[in-house]
Copies of this chain bind each other. A is one copy, B any other.
Amino acid sequence: MFESAELGHKLDKATFKKHEKKLRAELLDAQYDVLQLKKFPVLILVNGVDGAGKGETVNLLNEWMDPRHVITHAFGEPTDEELERPFMWRFWRALPPAGKVGIMFGNWYTDPIVLRATKQITLEELDARLAAVNRFEELLAQSGALVLKFWFHLSKDAQKQRLKDLEKDKDTRWRVTGADWKHFKMYDRFRKVDEHVLRRTSTGHAPWLVVEGSDERYRSVTVAQTLVDGMRKRLKAEEHGYKARINAAPLPHKTDNRDILHSLKLDQALTKKEFDKELEKWQGRLALLSRHPKLASRSVVAVFEGQDAAGKGGAIRRVTQALDARRYHVIPIAAPTDEERAQPYLWRFWRHIPRNGMFTIFDRSWYGRVLVERVEGFCSESDWMRAYTEINDFEDQLVQSGDVVCKFWLAISQEEQLRRFKEREATDFKRFKITQEDWRNRKKWPDYERAVCDMIDRTSTERAPWTLVEANNKYHARIKVLRTFCKALEDAIG
């Protein structure tokens, strides 16, 4: 894998000078085209061997491009705000928006590599992490990002020489630390892990580009040229209507009349009197559970979805009534802001992932992608088809980092919806006015049903299962939500 990067690649000064002028102009030009088009971000990952010129190259890119539209991030130790979220949260918050160039040092590869080289994780654990990395990079690529991954390599001899050279010069001596020599002693072990990582994560949409790091001129020209070519190729594709896409087989239509929604008995009995008693009981229990010390180091994410007028708002209020207002946020999902539109779809949900001890309740959620956006055609088939995987990965990360995830689908019948719409129209309380859009959505009932069934089939996982709530009777629905919520917290407390 590193063979070609140990040949002693070199450029003489004259050749470099010739390249430099042309490359700088081309690079700036491509950068401005990306900026003007504002349709995709360029994400550059910088990894590799110590002393192979990673920092120098990034500085050079910043010098050759317009630094006002380059965002460079070096990830060192995570902050406490980052430590309380899933591992990937810190990278999500640093993603460049469409039009900008983001450069990431010490990115999501650093941790797995170091952990494996120092034998803190097994090969299988490493592979599991790399599989997650691949899915994440696929998400980025599919949502439009141009992802370029540069690996700076040095042979063992070259690295030794380089560290010695740096130490000899009094101006650069400070750059060689004890950790560098420690890592050098582990060169062979690192190399083995590096090779494995590069092999596992060199994918069609985000291949590794290995660059020999010993000669500054060669290194600079290679990286800049690759970057120019990458941007140009993509800009050209955009001219011809480029779309990242997975061509998936269509989901099967149902051929009999059975589906998960129709298997529900939507009318469940519960009188107002029974409800009042149950409400007090379950809210009391939830109040106590939510204050359990064990939950101080975890967070809770709840999702409420359902047809229009299914009673999401009412159910959410019965939950929040039991919680301390200092510890929950309800996030109503409406149209994305322009900052959100310049990012991958899930970005606007990642930003609300809570710190430990907090409850975040989503009133509608990332499932909009496979529900309203699918049915109304707001996104392409390939967008919502891959959303199932992206969503499962997202929730998996939440669960893995210790979050409790509860997902509720509130199901009502078409008749019950009609009754509620009419009831709302009859009340003069303006807030519940039914809009034309509600009536329009209603006409697509079968399409929505199909989307809901697919959603449940594909995203009800053992780690983050859906709870289907029969909601023709509001009392029953609210109690079932509270009961399920309590059960989830009890399981989490153990």
B-binding residues in A (CB < 8 A): 28-29, 32, 55, 58-59, 61-63, 66-74, 79-81, 103, 105, 174, 291, 313, 316-317, 320-321, 324-332, 337-339, 363, 430-431
- Number of copies of chain A assembled together: 2
Question: Which of B58, B63, B326, B330 sits near A317, CB closer than 8 Å?
Answer: B63
- Residues of chain B within 8 A (CB-CB) of A330 are 67-68, 70
Contact B103 A313 (CB under 8 A): no
* Complex A-B: 12 CB contacts under 8 Å: A55-B325, A61-B325, A66-B313, A67-B325, A67-B330, A70-B325, A72-B328, A74-B327, A174-B291, A337-B338, A338-B339, A339-B339
Question: Which of B32, B59, B71, B337 sits near A339, CB closer than 8 Å?
Answer: B337
Q: How far is the CB of A278 from chain B (nearest CB, A)?
A: 18
- Residues of chain B within 8 A (CB-CB) of A174 are 291
Q: How far is the CB of A175 from chain B (nearest CB, A)?
A: 10
Interface centre among A291, A325, A430 (most CB of B within 10 A): A325
- Residues of chain B within 8 A (CB-CB) of A66 are 313
Contact B72 A326 (CB under 8 A): yes
Contact B67 A320 (CB under 8 A): yes
Q: How far is the CB of A136 from chain B (nearest CB, A)?
A: 22
Contact A67 B431 (CB under 8 A): no
Contact A317 B28 (CB under 8 A): no
Contact A74 B363 (CB under 8 A): no
Q: How far is the CB of A80 from chain B (nearest CB, A)?
A: 5
Contact A325 B32 (CB under 8 A): no
Known: A67-B317, A313-B66, A338-B337. A326 touches B431 (CB 8 A): no
Known: A320-B62, A321-B63. A326 touches B68 (CB 8 A): no
The residue of chain B having its C-beta at the shortest distance from the C-beta of A293 within the complex is B174
Contact A62 B325 (CB under 8 A): yes
- Residues of chain B within 8 A (CB-CB) of A324 are 55, 59
The residue of chain B having its C-beta at the shortest distance from the C-beta of A63 within the complex is B321
- Residues of chain B within 8 A (CB-CB) of A338 are 337-339
* A59-B58 Cα distance, complex, nearest whole Å: 50
Q: How far is the CB of A255 from chain B (nearest CB, A)?
A: 40
- Residues of chain B within 8 A (CB-CB) of A321 are 63
Q: How far is the CB of A129 from chain B (nearest CB, A)?
A: 24
* A79-B82 Cα distance, complex, nearest whole Å: 10
* A320-B63 Cα distance, complex, nearest whole Å: 8
* A276-B309 Cα distance, complex, nearest whole Å: 71
Contact B325 A58 (CB under 8 A): yes
- Residues of chain B within 8 A (CB-CB) of A55 are 324-326
Question: Which of B80, B105, B337, B363 sits near A79, CB closer than 8 Å?
Answer: B80
Contact A68 B337 (CB under 8 A): no
13 further A-B pairs in the complex, CB-CB below 8 A; given A67-B316, A68-B316: A32-B431, A58-B326, A62-B320, A63-B317, A67-B317, A70-B325, A72-B326, A72-B328, A74-B327, A79-B79, A337-B337, A337-B338, A338-B338
Question: Which of B103, B327, B331, B363 sits near A325, CB closer than 8 Å?
Answer: B103
Q: How far is the CB of A238 from chain B (nearest CB, A)?
A: 18
- Residues of chain B within 8 A (CB-CB) of A291 are 174
Q: How far is the CB of A54 from chain B (nearest CB, A)?
A: 10
- Residues of chain B within 8 A (CB-CB) of A316 are 67-68
Known: A68-B313, A68-B330, A330-B68. A325 touches B79 (CB 8 A): no
Q: How far is the CB of A27 from chain B (nearest CB, A)?
A: 12
- Residues of chain B within 8 A (CB-CB) of A331 are 68
Interface centre among A32, A68, A337 (most CB of B within 10 A): A68
* A79-B63 Cα distance, complex, nearest whole Å: 34
Contact A326 B74 (CB under 8 A): yes
* A69-B326 Cα distance, complex, nearest whole Å: 14
* A32-B332 Cα distance, complex, nearest whole Å: 14
- Residues of chain B within 8 A (CB-CB) of A329 are 71-72
* A313-B32 Cα distance, complex, nearest whole Å: 14
The residue of chain B having its C-beta at the shortest distance from the C-beta of A171 within the complex is B288
Q: How far is the CB of A313 from chain B (nearest CB, A)?
A: 7
- Residues of chain B within 8 A (CB-CB) of A73 are 326
The residue of chain B having its C-beta at the shortest distance from the C-beta of A327 within the complex is B74
Contact B28 A332 (CB under 8 A): no
The residue of chain B having its C-beta at the shortest distance from the C-beta of A326 within the complex is B74
* A72-B324 Cα distance, complex, nearest whole Å: 10
Q: How far is the CB of A78 from chain B (nearest CB, A)?
A: 10
Q: How far is the CB of A101 from chain B (nearest CB, A)?
A: 11
Contact B72 A332 (CB under 8 A): no
- Residues of chain B within 8 A (CB-CB) of A325 are 55, 58-59, 61-62, 67, 70, 72, 103
